[in-house]
Amino acid sequence: MILTVTMNPSIDVSYPLNHLKIDDVNRTTEVSKTAGGKGLNVSRVIQQLGTKILATGIIGGFFGQFIETKLSEDHIEHNFYKIDQESRECIAILHDGGNQTEILESGPVLSEEEKNAFLNHYNDLLAQSSLVTISGSLPSGVNPNFYALMVRLAHGKGKKVLLDTSGESLKTALLSQEKPDLIKPNEEELQQLIPIELNIHNPESLKAALSTPDLKDVEWICVSLGKAGAFVKHGSTFYSVSIPAINVVNPVGSGDATLAGLAVAIDSHQSDEVILKTAMTTGMLNTMERQTGFIDSDKFDEYFKKVLVTQV
């Protein structure tokens, strides 16, 4: 069973508007409210691939209950650590032909007690898990080394950890003795990790970037490059992965769908080629749907065949 971690899940509210009027009233009849947070997108896609998954993290209040209900409706097993504070709400206004304006709450501020209690909860769940994914940012009040600590606990039980985060918590995890087994930066996130100017069109530049001291010891680095596919390091082997041109409906969450594909294929001990083709297929399928963190698995085989993995 794959354990997915979402430390700061939210209710994601989306309002489509033809035009956003500033300093005025905007009315809408269409609204969608979903269980959000990168780790929950990962969970949905893993579930849609037919792999057993348990979602954990921290939730609280009525919003927390709403998130649990939504996960149960999607047949996703969950076991979150509960706190008294309310989980957060994030609002996205889709307007003026392709613009997206977001208002993101920062969410609960965790106490020392809550952090330690969560770590105990997580440690217990590790026993029943085969692999862990950790996605998204840390809640307020949590030291950036928290994910590094979670990686260490998982490794203590012999479980691999796929970490998809950015900023200080990623940097700290990369500097730690126990490295995550996989990271999945996009171009912008990778650029923040390296001291050299990145040129994604040049494989030598990408190889040099992934060989910098902080990155060279991470077993898997999957740099996702949107419509350009991905550039990947596994140990000392590099791959360029290309994908077909597709009809994109909503690219939000495609990185999370990619992580889900990586998790499922690594967990079932597939070859590098199958792992990367699976990841690109789930990423692409997510962009073809309106719903974030959602794939139509009936289309899987058709797109899987079109992904090209080349060792470089």
Considering only residues 49, 126, 243, 309, which one is a binding residue for ligand ADP as defined by CB under 6 A?
Answer: 243
Site for ligand ADP in 267-296 (CB under 6 A): 280, 283-284, 287
Least spacing, CB of residue 239 vs ligand ADP, in Å? 12
Q: Is 106 exposed, middle or buried (0-12, 13-18, 19+ CB in 10 A)?
A: exposed
Assigned token pair, 46: 């893993």
Q: What is the rounded end-to-end Cα distance, in angstroms, of the chain?
A: 33
Whether 276 and 239 have beta carbons less than 8 Å apart is answered as yes
Assigned token pair, 101: 């304006």
> How is residue 86 annotated by DSSP?
P
Least spacing, CB of residue 230 vs ligand ADP, in Å? 5
Least spacing, CB of residue 216 vs ligand ADP, in Å? 22
Task: Identify the three-state secondary structure at position 60.
Answer: strand
The answer to whether 135 contacts ligand ADP (rule: CB under 6 A) is no
Least spacing, CB of residue 77 vs ligand ADP, in Å? 25
By beta-carbon proximity to ligand ADP, the closer residue of 151 and 259 is: 259
Longest C-alpha distance within the chain, in Å? 56
User: Which listed range, 17-25, 133-141, 175-183, 226-234, lies at the site for ligand ADP (CB under 6 A)?
Assistant: 226-234
The answer to whether 53 contacts ligand ADP (rule: CB under 6 A) is no
By beta-carbon proximity to ligand ADP, the closer residue of 152 and 234 is: 234
The answer to whether 255 contacts ligand ADP (rule: CB under 6 A) is yes
Number of H helices, E strands in the chain: 10, 15
Rounded Cα distance between 4 and 54, Å, is 6
Q: Which of 48, 43, 39 is nearest to 9 (CA)?
A: 39
Considering only residues 121, 152, 171, 227, which one is a binding residue for ligand ADP as defined by CB under 6 A?
Answer: 227
Considering only residues 224, 240, 278, 292, which one is a binding residue for ligand ADP as defined by CB under 6 A?
Answer: 224
Tokens 């990168």 — which residue?
38
Least spacing, CB of residue 243 vs ligand ADP, in Å? 5
Site for ligand ADP in 178-197 (CB under 6 A): 186
Assigned token pair, 92: 């996205």
Least spacing, CB of residue 20 vs ligand ADP, in Å? 23
By beta-carbon proximity to ligand ADP, the closer residue of 8 and 224 is: 224
The answer to whether 251 contacts ligand ADP (rule: CB under 6 A) is yes
Considering only residues 5, 71, 174, 230, which one is a binding residue for ligand ADP as defined by CB under 6 A?
Answer: 230
Residues 6+ apart with CB under 8 A from 114: 58, 81, 83
Tokens 């190889």 — which residue?
207
Specify the amino acid at residue 36: G
By beta-carbon proximity to ligand ADP, the closer residue of 80 and 303 is: 303
Alpha carbon of residue 30 to chain centroid: 27
Q: Which residues bind ligand ADP (CB under 6 A)?
A: 186, 224-227, 229-230, 243, 246, 248, 251, 254-255, 258, 280, 283-284, 287
